[in-house]
Amino acid sequence: MAEEKSFKYVILGASVSSGYAAREFINQGLKPGELAIISEESMPPYECPNLAKGYINFETNVTLAKNLVCARNSEKRQFPQWYKDKGIELIVSTEIVKADLAAKRLVSSAGKIFKYQTLLVATGSTCIRLSEFGIQDADAKNIFYLRDINDVDQLALTIETNKKRKVVVVGGGYTSFEISAALMVNNHDVTMVFPEPWIMHGLFTAEIASFYEGYYAKKGIKIIKATLASGFSTNLCGEVTEVKLEDGRTLEADIVIVGIGGRSMTSLFKGQVEEEKGGIKTDGFFRTSVPDVYAIGDVATFPMKLYGDMRRVEHVDHACKSAEQAVKAIKAVEEGKSIQEYDYIHFFHSRAFDLSWQFYGDNVGESVLFGDNDPKSPKPKFGTYWVKYGKVVGAFLEGGVEEENKAIARVARTQPSVGSLEVLSNIGELLIGSRVNRNRVLVSCPV
């Protein structure tokens, strides 16, 4: 007879959202033995985003232990002992191959059965691989993807045991943006290749991108735009030696890092739960179409109240906040109480070299640039507002101090009306000017 275990709550997946959900359960009065986290990985939930930069930066000597949840909030790390002390069963190295949502049970590859009363799906997303497009030798040795700790461990080992290497980063998005800077800090020869007309095309305007492309070039990173990786060459050991580009060029490479996007991991639930826009559809409490099943983090497509539509967001900020919202919603139902619906605003941020930017809101409509975005400036500082239907819907700022970043967050949240882009540009200039001007702007404007 198959081994069975039963829990009041089960979190499936050890993504960053799992760790924050566990912490919120504790905050809500979880009793020992009520919660289990089941994961295919061999360690407790960790802060995945830092894999693309800090974890492979040997100058800062970052270890996995330093990146366990809740590292981003500078709170106590949730080591395996933390889960044990709280009475949470951490079931790692366990692959779930079947989810029967109607029967409320999960089945592992070893045949073990896990029953639950309430399930939180926190399976996250997986990377899109070049082999899916039939690209030659896309699975060669030293071609890396950065979705789990095993891949990053192998990359870190390869970098550590081989000094300066020629690295080609395929992709121009968020992961590629950060990993390229981290590799250059570690003194590697870095080339970025992507098909879009500029870096971070999904978020940046051309004017924002021109600054970062110029700054990266100044640091020694080579950028090749508007072409694709179409194949690879390998040596007798099966290691990558060249990247073949669609435009006919070839790039010498000791290491290739691929960051071309991801997709949510929903295959276990196909045909059992309603999906939308590549994720599991939820309401503002992260309840799915199946009773007692919630979805959080990357895997959830949820109503974005501020914009009146359904969206799926891949970012650590949303992963943490959605986890906390779902747990609060679960406990509210149990106690016959009510909570507010999730009211999230897009938030992205990054640190690369000595730069630091934050973005809030939506990057749609017309845009207006303000400040100094010359990559040769000793202290560049600039921003952008996005305007749609006469309202500011998004705001970006490079080099902002804390109060300035809070100001652009308020702008994106309150969506003030604006008479003209010129007026908005002037407000932006005041925002990043002297402290006296900044205080006046904060008082007199919607920010």
- The reply to whether 4-126+263-335 and 130-260 are identical in fold is yes
Q: Hey, where are the domains in the chain?
A: 4-126+263-335, 130-260, 354-444
CATH number of this structure's domain 354-444, picked from the four choices 3.50.7.10, 3.30.390.30, 3.90.550.10, 3.40.190.10: 3.30.390.30
CA angle 10, 11, 13 (to 5 degrees): 140
Asked whether the predicted pLDDT for residue 107 surpasses 90, the reply is yes
The mean per-residue pLDDT over the stretch 422-435 comes to 74
Per-residue H/E/C for 104-121? CEEEECCCCEEEEEEEEE
Give the pLDDT confidence of 306-317 residue by residue, as tens digits.
Answer: 999 999 999 989
Confidence of residue 430 (pLDDT cuts 50, 70, 90): confident
End-to-end CA distance of the chain: 64
Please state which of the ranges 112-126, 143-157, 167-181 shows the lowest mean pLDDT. 143-157
Stretch 268-278: mean pLDDT = 97
**Helix ranges (DSSP H) in 394-444:** 402-414, 421-431, 435-444
Determine the pLDDT at residue 1.
65
DSSP annotation string for 114-169: EEEEEEEE---EEEPPGGGGT-BTTT-BTEEE-SSHHHHHHHHHHHHHSSS-EEEE
Q: Does domain 130-260 have CATH number 3.50.50.60?
A: yes
**pLDDT single digits (tens) 142-170:** 999 877 777 777 887 777 665 789 999 99
21-25, 36-40, 261-265, 359-363: segment of lowest average pLDDT: 261-265
Q: What is the mean pLDDT of the chain?
A: 90
pTM (predicted TM-score): 0.90
Q: At what angle are helices 402-414 and 435-444 packed, to 10 degrees?
A: 20
3-state secondary structure of 425: helix
Q: What are 59-97's pLDDT values in tens digits?
A: 554 555 456 666 455 567 788 899 999 999 999 999 999
User: Tens digits of per-residue pLDDT, 370-408?
Assistant: 999 999 999 999 999 999 999 999 999 999 999 999 999
- b/e per residue 421-436 (b: at least 16 CB within 10 A): eeebbebbbbbbeeee
